[in-house]
Amino acid sequence: MNYKQLHLQLLLLLPILLSSLTCSAFATTPVEFKNFSIKKQINILRTELETTKSNSFEILLQTWSEKYGTLAFFPLIAIAKEKNVPDQKRYIALMGATKLATLLNGKDNIKNFVPFLKDPSWMIRSGALNALKAANESKLGEAVLPMIYDPALVIRVQVIDVLSKLHPTGTLKALISSLEFSENYNKQGKPLWVPEKALLALIDLKPLLTIAGTLSGTISDLERLKKKKNTHPEMREKIQKTINQLTIN
């Protein structure tokens, strides 16, 4: 290879070399990230969130976890609160914080998810429910109880799952209330997913109902609902099956 050919190849490679040098020079290391102000940390994560080319947010979450560790928790919570950020991006930030919360392993950090239960976006409320379910803190589950009347059906379905796992004080009343909530039925009175899940949850909670001495009262409530004039035949059948499961030894 003569000088002119070598010179030409170097000219062609120069932009690539400069690009790689620029990236490495301005790459954020965990040590640098730790020393940045919270505002700058938020800006860095927001930029990465907005410029990611991956179709899978799981890859981005893994990158944050490996690159910044628990240092990214509070900046991600802050991004999730930003109403000017698209809901999809806020949701990813919230899921990133959820992933890191399991590493932090502290109740005080888990409390940061509770305000999101009242967010206007059903997507963010769903993310908050996922976070509290993963934390498995029964006391924090009490904040979920009012969501049994959430305007979004998909959230009400999810609430049953969360209460079934955390069963905070008031779970039984909430489950019975979900069976009576008119929004959980179509115009013909046919149940829409939530009542069936609530009935299954009652069966799963049978040991706790027995210990608490509320099993007979629960069966009485179910009998009352079954006898109501506007109870759909399909619902009557499901209620009776539940009663049978609760009464057998």
Q: For the chain, which residues make up each domain, given as ranges?
A: 29-137, 138-249
* pTM attached to this predicted model: 0.82
pLDDT of residue 21: 29
pLDDT of residue 11: 39
- pLDDT over threshold 50, residue 143: yes
Residue 170 near residue 181, CB atoms below 8 Å: no
Q: Which amino acid is at 92?
A: I
**Residue 10: pLDDT band with limits 50, 70, 90:** very low
State how far the Cα of 85 lies from the Cα of 49, in Å rounded to an integer: 10
